[in-house]
Amino acid sequence: MQPTSAGQSFFAQLANATWSYSQRRWQLVLVAMVLLLHIAVFRGVADPWARALLLAHLGLLLLWQPLKRAEERVSAIQGAIVLLVAVVVMLRLDWWLLAFWVVVLVGLVGGKVFQQHAKWQRRCYLVVLAYLLALLAIAILPEVAPRQEITRETRTIAAFVLPLAFVLIAFFPAEPQSAEAPQIIDFFYSVFLMLLLVVVVLGSFTLMTLRQSGYLEALTYTVFLTAGAVLFVGLAWNPRGGGLGVFFVRYLFSIGVPLERWLEVLARLLQQEAQPERFLEQAIVALEELPSVAGVTWRAGGVSGERGARTRDRIDFATPELALGIYSRYRLSPALQWHLRLLAQLLGEFYLAKRREAKLRETSYLQAVHETGARTTHDIKNLLQSLNVLCSAAAAEEADTRALNALVRRQLPLVAERLTQTLERLQRPQTQPDTWVPALQWWQALTRQYQAEAVEFEAPELAPDERLPRELFDSAADNLIRNALAKRVAEPDVRVRVALRADGLWVSDTGKAIPEEVAGALMRAPIASAAGLGIGLYQAARQAEATGYRLVLEKNSDGEVTLALRVQPPAQGSTPAAASRP
């Protein structure tokens, strides 16, 4: 059965009313609390009903500003304190106690004003604060002042006019407030307001006694003098002018001066010490010299140690790589705990950074060894192919002895020189600067190396003083030419052409195009290929980038496949590596 539209409207209105009540609940509690106080004050401290109303007022205060959460149990000490306050209210209530209690309420409500970010909630607390100040000045302080100037008619008017503040609060729009939100009061502002009111009250009574002045005159003088003093302190406190605030902050954070010196020591050790263990030991030596540190214990890996003396006040910091314990010379207040924990965390982070730096150096060395081994493997493979060509020529029965001897005399010194370079690179895996040689001399050696393998070399157009990086061009030329010659196994009619120009090296063949799936990853990552287009070109491409060149696939079609090693164009505002030739 579907509900009617009237029923739906009723439930919607009920839901809206429930939401509005939940949002205004804190306003209702606050108004009821202050209203009970208002009635009790104007009934007088001698009225028994006033004392009962003050007990109800205290209960509403605990609802408005709960001391504990609803799920927590009230301890015996807390219950005894509440009972003691109730007994004092019932038996010892007087105007001085009532004045003290209103001063406390002013501090609580004033502390709320500085913590509320919602506009209407803050305005509500401001109205209540103004009401409490008026109640204190008109109804309570005249009862304890040396001379009374507030007449009974004035009190009667105030008794009916001051509650208009509650009517004003009722017109404020409701704003959402979570029931689980913590009721926070700014402690320092609350204490400041309470002390300020105490100064105004006692100052007024002092002026009345010394100058024999009236209550209103003394109160007015005291309020303006106090306001002037607060304004003067505020102007002197201004940190923009380097006032009292700067000195106060400097005093509070004077403990940071040794910390800054220790951070300087850490920064210096981070640059000087390469070993993590030595860095940790020297940093702990500097840490133990801080005024607040009595001793330090640590454990890093299989190494442990201790410096200084042990005390009962200790801060622990532990990670999988480092366990640190710092002993304090003083009792561990919250500020000192935070300070020592910050020291331990800083030392731990610096130590972990040093560990990662050592691991990175090791990884970089292993990577250099790996890359050098991969390049060396392909160089040896290319040299082995050259030796196989010589062996094939020597094994041929119809070989011309004189031509064979000339071929061996040309190739064997080149092979021996390449093997020597490969062995040196294997022994020194770190990156070494490339050797720049005359381009024409290198070209002549390359043509002699592949003279017997039917490779077509175009006549170069180079300046006599043109130079090129030898190791890069040796590696690239061997890989490109060998990969092109490998196509002759399946395509005997493949022609291989090599050209050298001022801006790079070109190797072309007339075989089939490289498959798209292989061409897309060529020279970007190692790939498996029956033609050998894999790790060799990848290593040559990385070597070219480090030297200021690019290894690219310029043309890829059946009958024309061209790969080129050319000078990389410089980025805007930078100098290319290839341009810095010797």
476-488 pLDDT tens trace: 888 888 888 888 8
Cα dihedral 55→58→64→67 (10° resolution): -130
The per-residue pLDDT for 3 is 46
| Contact indicator for 106, 140 with CB cutoff of 8 Å | no
Q: Of 488, 565, 473, 478, whose CA–CA distance to 531 is shortest?
A: 488
Average pLDDT over residues 437-450: 85
- The CATH code belonging to domain 436-582 is 3.30.565.10
- Beta-carbon-side half-sphere exposure of residue 105 (alpha carbons within 13 Å): 28
Least confident residue range of 67-76, 337-346, 573-582: 573-582
Q: Helix and strand tally (H, E) in the chain? A: 19, 11
- Mean predicted confidence (pLDDT) in 422-427: 64
The answer to whether 522 touches 581, Cβ cutoff 8 Å, is no
Give the DSSP letter of residue 75: P
Pairwise CA distance, residues 516 & 74, whole Å: 78
Asked if the model's pLDDT at residue 312 lies above 60, the reply is yes
Whether the per-residue pLDDT at 559 is higher than 80: the answer is: yes
Mean pLDDT value of segment 259-287: 81
Residue 97: phi, psi to the nearest 5?
Answer: -65, -40
For residue 10, what pLDDT band results from cuts at 50, 70 and 90?
very low
For residue 7, pLDDT over 50 is answered with no
pLDDT at 385: 66
pLDDT tens for 510-556 read 888 888 877 777 776 666 555 444 567 777 787 888 888 988 888 88
315's enclosing H/E stretch is strand 314-318
As a whole number, mean pLDDT of residues 43-68 equals 79
At residue 180, the pLDDT reads 44
Q: How far, in Å, CA of 238 to CA of 253, rounded? A: 18
Phi first, then psi: give them for residue 400, nearest 5 degrees.
-80, 125
Average pLDDT over residues 352-362: 80
pLDDT at 17: 45
Task: Return the pLDDT at 181.
Answer: 47
Question: So what's the pLDDT on residue 240?
Answer: 60
Host H or E run for residue 32: helix 5-43
pLDDT over threshold 50, residue 574: no
Backbone angles phi, psi at 4, to 5 degrees: -75, 170
Distance CA 281, CA 297 (A): 11
Question: 262 pLDDT exceeds 60?
Answer: yes
Average pLDDT of 471-499?
85
Residue 573 has pLDDT above 50, yes or no: no
| pLDDT at 255 > cutoff 60 | no
For the chain, what is the largest distance between any 2 Cα atoms, rounded to a whole number of angstroms? 142
What percentage of the chain exceeds 90 in pLDDT?
2
Q: CA end-to-end span of the chain, whole Å? A: 95
Average pLDDT on 268-277 reads: 81
> Locate tokens 């294997």: which residue?
426
Average pLDDT of the chain?
76
Residue 369 φ then ψ, to 5°? -65, -45
Domain boundaries for CATH 3.30.565.10 within the chain? 436-582
Least confident of 14-18, 21-25, 540-544: 14-18
Per-residue pLDDT of 87-125, as tens digits, reads 777 777 888 888 888 888 888 888 777 666 567 777 888
pLDDT of residue 498: 92
pLDDT band at 508 (very low <50, low <70, confident <90, very high): very high
Looking up tokens 């004050």, which residue turns up? 41
**Residue 134 near residue 154 (C-beta atoms within 8 A):** no
Secondary structure (DSSP) of 247-270: HHHHHHTTTHHHHHHHHHHHHHHH
Please report the sign of the dihedral spanned by the C-alpha atoms of residue 265, residue 268, residue 270, residue 276: negative
Q: Could you give the angle at the alpha carbon of 404 between the alpha carbons of 403 and 405, nearest 5°?
A: 90
Residues 163 and 423: their CA atoms lie apart, in Å, by: 100
**Is the confidence at residue 128, as pLDDT, over 80?**
yes
Of 92-106, 185-199, 417-431, which gets the smallest average pLDDT?
417-431
Write the CB contacts of 306 (distance below 8 Å, at least 6 apart in sequence): 295, 296, 297, 298
Q: State both tokens at 378.
A: 């392909």
106-120, 306-320, 428-442: range with highest mean pLDDT: 306-320
Q: Residue 552 pairs with which residues in a beta bridge? A: 564
Q: Which residues is 218 bridged to in the sheet?
A: none
Where is pLDDT greater, at 255 or 41?
A: 41
Percent of the chain topping pLDDT 70: 71
Per the model's pLDDT, the better-predicted residue between 48 and 332 turns out to be: 48
Specify the range with the lowest mean pLDDT, choosing from 308-317, 352-361, 503-512, 518-527. 518-527
Give pLDDT, residue 577: 41
Residues 6+ apart with CB under 8 A from 88: 97
DSSP classification of residue 570: P
- Residues 187-209: what's their mean pLDDT? 86
**Lowest-pLDDT range, 37-46, 392-401, 571-580?**
571-580
Q: Are 316 and 290 in contact (CB under 8 A)?
A: no
Q: Are 268 and 286 in contact (CB under 8 A)?
A: no
For 407-443, give one letter per residue: b (16+ CB within 10 A) or e.
Answer: beeebeebbeebeebbeebbeebeeeebebbebbebb
Buried b (16+ CB within 10 A) or exposed e, 447-471: eebbebeebebeebebeeebbbbbb
- CA–CA distance, 186 with 107 (Å, rounded to integer): 9
pLDDT for residue 53: 86
Q: Are 576 and 569 in contact (CB under 8 A)?
A: yes
3-state secondary structure of 460: coil
Mark residue 308 as left, alpha or beta (left: phi above 0; alpha: psi -120 to 50; beta: remaining).
left
pLDDT, greater one: 397 or 232 = 232
Residue 85 confidence (pLDDT) above 80: no
**Residue 326, H or E segment:** strand 322-328
Structure confidence at residue 575 (pLDDT): 41
Cα–Cα nearest to 471, from 524, 410, 549:
549
pLDDT at position 253: 54
Per-residue pLDDT, 461:
78
Q: What is the pLDDT of residue 243?
A: 59
How confident is the model at residue 291, as a pLDDT? Answer: 76
C-alpha–C-alpha distance, residues 113 and 193, integer Å = 12
